[in-house]
Structure 1
């Protein structure tokens, strides 16, 4: 029997009543509810945060029938206090644009008006925070139960206006006035759970609610969102079989493809890796290994900040992006530091951890993120590298596959000629490194291509069915010098017994003209 895949379903009640498949995470709901402390959780977009909070909402509203057959039903079996209907205040900041001043206040007022009607209060001209206080007290007095506060994507009103500092500060002030209510109303509150992609530590929701417990980097909750390998195999065995049949793969190879493309997120150094749930479900739904997470959009402000900061793109894959726990869990006000931003947004994840130095090493979680992210950067560095004009990666791949060295040279020459520099003082060295890295790393999506950046190793090695290419790139030097380095360092030695045709290619670029000026080949 085919199962119903909950693609785009974020409501727990709809998921359960309409018989969509559900990966049972209710043991975490039980633990969170019974610890009874205020929580904050940061996870990337499309990672199941809304579904998790919707599940918490159903639990606190006492909708026991929705949890029939799930793990929490057994856990609550002997609890006489379970399944009470608490007053729940559910803030979902999705689905609204906050790019205009006053949009956040309208959203909060809309929610308050609804709750004032539910708890028999007249909407007054009081400040939003005062209206919230009155609703909380009235809900407590009417029900005899303390209130539950659930907040989904609290940071959307801030991320929507990240390029408008004045409006961002305004929205922060709105939050400060509104959520500071909770700090002094602890006696009326049973449970608080707040989620978002980012944690802005200077936002009042955190500075005032200093009792919030951040579980974003907690080992116990590392698999709270996302899908583990065990959950994948146990829940989606039929879907894996159908996908493998459609793609002409064995079950084992199909799982390897899923791991390579969608697995690899780690939210604690000792935590189990998890799959991106959205991409996984879309792959099963469509029967294709697509780049689904990236189809939902990469923030343009993130791309522009990477370029503006002259960030060394080679760090993304050479294992030299480091962070402390404090960096991973926080932002420094408005600066939107790249490393925590990339980690919390899901573009980087934990790869290694040095316990002695308490140092995290970060990298791309999987191929979907790696290639999708780098493809989104390419137009910012080389706007002319678009499909159909002969400067795209597909065209370069064709030349590489066919041994057309003149074509490879022409593409590289044209790509560098097409670079747009922001100001005259921009260092050519940065663009040189960035474009070479982007071009050949993206080429690795289709052929075996390795970029090296360490002294004593070939700059780039490309392997196809019939050819091997060894590239050495020089700036303000000659192509002959680059070729001589390939020979003097015996870079071709590992391929002596290989029957494929091998090309050694020295390439030189000129900083003043910002052009490819030298190209020498030896085979």
Structure 2
């Protein structure tokens, strides 16, 4: 078995130097030779945005030797060497506007020193404009501007809105220079995770072309199935592509779906299916926002939003669904037309994201990691054995362990979605086949869960002290929710769970085995 070489990258093809590349340079040619000068690309973290920026810099600055054997080698004017200003906010965390301005000043000074230019203006915007103009004068070619992680200083402070807004204003002032120096710029690309509204951060830059959901650039970052099979052929002898796709494929940017390249490379190197992408960043702010807004986790299976919501948000108006999509936790499943409007149905891209997000949501409720792991193991064992009494004990003990003080800080005790979310997150974190709000001809099943040859059809109710503890199971039977699974050769369990909002725990846990 041939081991994947260290230093594997995103662009080009396998060569003697021990690097594995996927050639995306034809797409780069198309992007840099179309009408228009300013572009914006949003992709989740670890998708190769920084490498795309580096490749553009190498091409524009005339480093032909780096493109040997690639599309650009014979499809680029290598006689022209453009001056390139590449700005990256990926380094470190910007904790205030003062730190942001010092960071920008340092980057401008580094560029001036590298190009042998002296900058005289003190104001940052004027200093940036001066650098652009002097570079054009010195090299007699218009300037290329590449900004990587343009939004990171804001996202680093998203849970402290006052600081985030100050940083946003600082970035807005800086980016406005790009529009003001239009005549001096040959090409500009800004990349990031999120797309903030033009009014809030790109005011005046009205010719910024957002290519994030253009079909022709859908695979500009990320790997397609064919690319993996062609470029990594020597490393795929024992790879189960169905499982690989289930774990890491599924990202849809309105074209051919792509794998997360970071995950693929680490899997090929380690040969172990793990949550590689999720381990590199914690969605703590997202988890807090979901809990604060009492967003029912099962709703993540059926998200539908408009194009306007999909494409932008701002610090003082953050929609959970928009944030989930732009940060890579949800992707496009289907697009439907409602007259002139497009409606986007979102879903999890793959198993890694679905499992890991569910685990993160659980962590907000379970304070001790060991307890969470023990509960997960006990849940899996109970479902595997069809032991409903054991399953009831796990969840009853879990709800009993939540401190009373925690409920005083919110209104979740009377919220059906809260209890359903706990069950959903436990099952999903185990990597089980979980379907929320599964449609039948008589209504919607709250949860349908499959493990091996067992199907669990579950309904949840919140009741008062005098409520009917058997109402949840009764609804399943009255509406025959389980009928859709009859004749499929599986063991069907119907499970009704009622919660008492005063006791904040399970008041009724009834179940029946329907068939074998």
Q: What's the TM-score once normalised by structure 1's chain length?
A: 0.87
The CA deviation string for residues 470-492 of structure 1, in whole angstroms up to 9 with x for no partner, is 44433214343333444444455
Cα distance in structure 1, aligned partners of 2:233 and 2:220:
21
Distance 1:294 1:257 in 2: 18
The 5 Å alignment of 1:56-71 reads: 56-71=56-71
Separation of aligned partners in 1, 2:288 and 2:326: 17
The residue correspondences of 1:445-484 to structure 2 (distance < 5 A) are: 445-446=431-432, 448-452=433-437, 454=439, 456-465=443-452, 469-476=456-463, 477-484=467-474
The answer to whether the 8 A contact 1:176-1:204 is kept is yes
Deviation at 1:453, TM superposition (A): 5.3
From 243, 251, 262, the counterpart of 1:265: 251
Of residues 383-392 and 331-340 in structure 1, the stretch that sits farther from structure 2 once superposed is: 383-392
Please tell me the root mean square deviation across aligned C-alpha atoms, in Å: 2.7
Aligned mate of 2:509, from 515, 519, 523:
519
1:351-366 → structure 2 map (5 Å cutoff): 351-357=333-339, 358-366=342-350
Secondary structure of the residue that 1:346 maps to in structure 2? coil
1:341 aligns with 2:323: yes
172 and 66 in structure 1: CA distance in 2 versus 1, 3 angstrom threshold: same
Do 2:112 and 2:119's aligned partners in 1 also have CA atoms closer than 8 Å? yes
Gaps of 5+ in 1: 245-253
1:143 and 2:129 are equivalent in the alignment = no
The corresponding residue for 2:272 is: 288
3-state SS of 1:207 partner: coil
Provide Cα deviations, 1:437-496, integer angstroms capped at 9, x if missing partner.
2233334x14x5544455545544444457554444332143433334444444555677
Match of 1:249 in 2: none
For 2:211 and 2:486, locate their aligned partners in 1 and report how far apart those are by CA, in whole Å.
Answer: 53
Q: What is the Cα deviation at residue 202 of structure 1?
A: 4.8
TM-score (norm 2): 0.89
2:289 maps to 1:298 = no
Counterpart residue number, 2:100: 104
Unaligned runs of 5+ in 2: none
Structure 1 residues 500 and 297, CA, compared in 2 at 3 Å: closer, same or farther?
same
**Whole-angstrom distance in 1 between the partners of 2:337 and 2:490:** 45
Give the Cα–Cα distance (whole angstroms) in 1 for the partners of residues 484 and 159 of structure 2. 50
1:157 matches 2:153: yes
- Are residues 1:414 and 2:397 paired? yes
SS in 2 for 1:520: strand
Would the aligned equivalents of 1:201 and 1:333 in 2 still touch at CA under 8 Å?
no
Q: Hey, what does 1:31 align to over in structure 2?
A: 30
For 1:57 and 1:230, the matched residues in 2 are separated by 27
CA deviation after TM superposition for structure 1 residue 182, in Å? 2.1
Deviation at 1:189, TM superposition (A): 1.2
- The structure-2 alpha-carbon separation of the partners of 1:83 and 1:285, relative to structure 1 and needing over 3 Å to count, comes to farther
Deviation at 1:287, TM superposition (A): 0.6
Taking a change above 3 Å as real, the CA distance of residues 43 and 424 of structure 1, as seen in their structure-2 partners, is closer
The equivalent of 1:250 in structure 2 is none
The answer on whether the counterparts of 2:178 and 2:205 sit within 8 Å (CA) in structure 1 is: yes
Residues 109/302 of structure 1: CA separation in 2 closer, same or farther (3 Å cut): same
Contact kept, 8 Å, 1:105 with 1:174, in 2: the verdict is yes
Q: Do 1:17 and 1:66's aligned partners in 2 also have CA atoms closer than 8 Å?
A: no
Change (3 A) 1:503 1:328: closer
What CA deviation, in whole Å up to 9, does each residue of 1:161-203 have, x standing for no partner? Answer: 1122222222122223322222221222111111001111156
What corresponds to 1:209 in structure 2? 205
Deviation at 1:396, TM superposition (A): 0.9
Determine if contact 2:363/2:372 at 8 Å carries over to the other structure: no
